[in-house]
């Protein structure tokens, strides 16, 4: 598929995300000729730096990248930025789509977006059919109210169909495959409900801690960082009804319906249905001896619809655990005759079914064996693009399927809001765990 001519404007080009994820993703896309033509990358920063400070001398991005120095609070600088973009466009002689990527702290989104609007950067080029789009990183708000405020502020300048809210988990190849796997395989469609599934568990465990990001993590915690966004999105994909069609509006509608049917946990059940933990050493790391921020969180949820009524749904995530893995498991049957279907989002992406088999020999013993589909074996080692490559290409093409809508974001905040409220009251039930613990040990 062709990607129309575009200008990608990255606010925060010197930041961590741009250096570690965006520029490498763009480099890889450039090497594989997957970028639009013509294409320009305009890095925006307050610092006075040169493109060569950001990319290596042999970079495929050298002819594409320029840097604009800008004070984020100065309206005149935005007018200057627009003039630079208009000049680039005039030089190419075509109308270019504009994708503005905010890789800056979320508390600066609203003022920056307002100034973008004042400078006319929310509109496409006047003499063609281009589009102006805004791409933002999570977190979208801090709780339900602040998310509502942020959505309201951004939509004053950019319409909902111009805003791309990134949830990079949705752009992981295995997450995208969930829908194909569910809806293109009759064998699984037939068993995907409460009559066959005994439990659904979504686990995102990490070995790393907060990696020096104390200022970011301390007010956030695991519930906001991973569950409000990534895990509820994965849950929606795994449990939603089949969308009428595979296009963005239908997928969004089906996900939203599911998110809204998650039963809120009543305050008096939170101690039972929600678990929180903090790894040993965290308080020293954030230099707050009284910190109650959770680095591990588990929620036992229920979905109130005909398909999932009565099926326990567990979402769990944590840092400094025993391994790096993100997986979704569906358990079928009753012990000892159970099957487990695992959708392994990462690493070693694939789908595994645990089956009972008779052990070879004269005895009648059974043993669990694995049937495995593995991406690498089936499609080769470089088969799937990095999530950020996918995010950028979809944004440049204007495909919103893998982005979260404002309604989905609000529905997710609504699920965790009662727990956030309860957990901020005190530290009751906060478990301290040793680094290297497995989620199963945190009961
Ligand atoms: C981010 C979180 O969204 O996802 C981080 O803010 C977390 O805290 C990261 O480490 C995990 O992403 P991945 O792709 O490495 O699983």
Residue 398 lies in a domain: no
Helical spans, DSSP H, in 277-364: 282-285
With a cut of 90, say whether residue 119 has pLDDT above it: yes
- CATH number assigned to the domain comprising residue 425: 3.30.360.10
Q: Would you say residue 272 lies in a domain?
A: yes
Q: Tell me how far the alpha carbon of residue 169 lies from the centroid of ligand 1, in angstroms.
A: 9
Q: What distance in angstroms lies between residue 392's CA and the mean position of ligand 1's atoms? A: 18
The residue whose CB lies within 8 Å of the most ligand 1 atoms, and thus the one to mutate among 210, 225, 347, is 225
Asked if 182 and 86 sit in the same domain, the reply is no
Tell me the per-residue pLDDT of 300-346, one tens digit each, with 9 for 90 and over: 999 999 999 999 999 999 999 999 999 999 999 998 889 999 999 99
Structure confidence at residue 82 as a pLDDT band (50, 70, 90): very high
Assess whether 105 and 201 both reside in one domain. Answer: no
Last residue of a domain, one of 137, 165, 191: 137
Atom of ligand 1 nearest to the CA of 229: 3
pLDDT of residue 134: 98
Range of the domain at 345: 173-385+405-441
Q: Whose CA is nearest to atom 15 of ligand 1?
A: 206
* Span 394-438, pLDDT tens digits: 999 999 988 999 999 999 999 999 999 999 998 999 999 999 999
**In angstroms, what is the span from residue 350 Cα to ligand 1's centroid?**
19
- Over residues 119-148, the mean pLDDT reads 90
Rounded Cα distance, 165 and 406, in Å: 8
Q: Which atom of ligand 1 is nearest to the CA of 387?
A: 14
Torsional sign, CA 257, 263, 267, 270: negative
Q: What is the best residue among 174, 226, 326 to mutate for testing ligand 1's pocket, by most ligand atoms within 8 Å of CB?
A: 226
Both 127 and 235 in one domain: the answer is no
Question: What is the four-CA torsion angle of 222, 327, 438, 416, rounded to 10 degrees?
Answer: 30
pTM comes to 0.94
Are 264 and 359 within one domain? yes
Tokens of 336: 């000892």
Mean pLDDT across 289-300 = 97
231 and 313 within one domain: yes
160 belongs to a structural domain:
no
Confidence of residue 228 (pLDDT cuts 50, 70, 90): very high
Q: How many independent structural domains does the chain possess?
A: 2
Which ligand 1 atom is the nearest neighbour of the CA of 169? 14
Final residue in a domain of this structure, among 113, 137, 161: 137
Asked if residue 423 and residue 316 are part of one domain, the reply reads: yes
Residue 151 lies in a domain: no
Residue 10 lies in a domain: yes
| Distance (Å) from CA 326 to ligand 1 centroid | 11
Active site residue 33: no
Residue 284 lies in a domain: yes
**Residue 324 alpha carbon, nearest atom of ligand 1:** 16
- pLDDT category of residue 247 using cuts at 50, 70 and 90: confident
- pLDDT in the model for residue 1: 65
- The length of the chain is 443
- If asked whether residues 324 and 179 sit together in one domain, one would say yes
Q: Indicate the pLDDT class of residue 380, thresholds 50, 70 and 90.
A: confident
Which of the following is catalytic: 28, 92, 230, 384? 230
Distance CA 41, CA 77 (A): 18
Residues whose CB falls within 8 Å of the CB of residue 412, separated by 6 or more in sequence, listed in order: 228, 229, 232, 233, 259, 404
Rounded Cα gap, residues 178 and 171, in angstroms: 12
Q: Which residues line ligand 1 (CB under 6 A)?
A: 206, 225, 326
Residue 219 alpha carbon to ligand 1 centre in Å: 16
Q: Please check whether residue 317 lies inside any domain of the structure.
A: yes
Residue 116, in any domain of the structure: yes
Same domain, 110 and 199: no
């Amino acid at each position: 598929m062709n990607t129309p001519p575009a200008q990608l404007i990255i606010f925060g080009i010197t930041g961590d995300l741009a250096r570690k994820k965006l520029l490498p993703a763009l480099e890889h896309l450039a090497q594989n000729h997957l970028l639009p033509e013509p294409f320009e990358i305009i890095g925006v920063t307050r610092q006075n730096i040169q493109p060569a400070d950001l990319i290596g001398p042999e970079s495929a991005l050298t002819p594409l990248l320029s840097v604009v120095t800008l004070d984020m609070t100065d309206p005149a600088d935005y007018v200057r930025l627009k003039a630079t973009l208009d000049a680039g466009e005039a030089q190419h002689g075509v109308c270019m789509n504009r994708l503005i990527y905010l890789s800056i702290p979320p508390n600066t989104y609203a003022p920056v977006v307002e100034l973008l609007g004042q400078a006319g950067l929310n509109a496409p080029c006047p003499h063609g059919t281009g589009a102006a789009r805004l791409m933002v990183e999570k977190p979208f708000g801090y709780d339900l109210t602040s998310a509502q405020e942020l959505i309201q502020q951004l939509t004053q300048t950019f319409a909902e169909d111009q805003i791309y809210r990134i949830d990079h988990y949705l752009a992981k190849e295995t997450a995208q495959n969930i829908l194909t796997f569910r809806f293109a395989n009759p064998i699984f469609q037939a068993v995907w409900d409460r009559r066959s599934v005994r439990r659904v568990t979504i686990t995102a465990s990490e070995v790393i801690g907060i990696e020096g990001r104390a200022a970011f993590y301390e007010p956030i915690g695991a519930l906001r960082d991973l569950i409000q966004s990534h895990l509820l999105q994965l849950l929606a994909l795994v449990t939603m009804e089949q969308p009428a069609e595979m296009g963005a509006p239908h997928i969004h509608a089906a996900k939203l319906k599911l998110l809204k049917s998650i039963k809120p946990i009543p305050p008096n059940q939170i101690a039972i249905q929600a678990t929180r933990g903090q790894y040993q050493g965290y308080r020293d790391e954030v230099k707050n001896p009284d910190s109650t921020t959770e680095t591990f969180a588990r929620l036992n949820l229920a979905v109130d619809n005909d398909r999932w009524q009565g099926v326990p749904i567990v979402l769990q995530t944590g840092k400094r655990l025993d391994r790096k893995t993100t997986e979704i498991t569906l358990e079928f049957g009753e012990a000892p005759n159970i099957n487990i279907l695992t959708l392994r989002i990462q690493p070693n992406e694939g789908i595994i079914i645990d089956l009972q088999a008779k052990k070879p020999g004269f005895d009648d013993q059974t043993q669990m064996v694995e049937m495995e589909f593995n991406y690498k074996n089936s499609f080769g080692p470089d088969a799937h693009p990095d999530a950020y490559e996918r995010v950028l290409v979809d944004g440049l093409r204007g495909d919103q399927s893998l982005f979260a809508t404002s309604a989905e974001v609000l529905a997710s905040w609504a699920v965790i809001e009662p727990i956030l409220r309860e957990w901020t009251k005190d530290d009751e039930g906060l478990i301290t765990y040793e680094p290297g613990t497995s989620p199963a040990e945190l009961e």
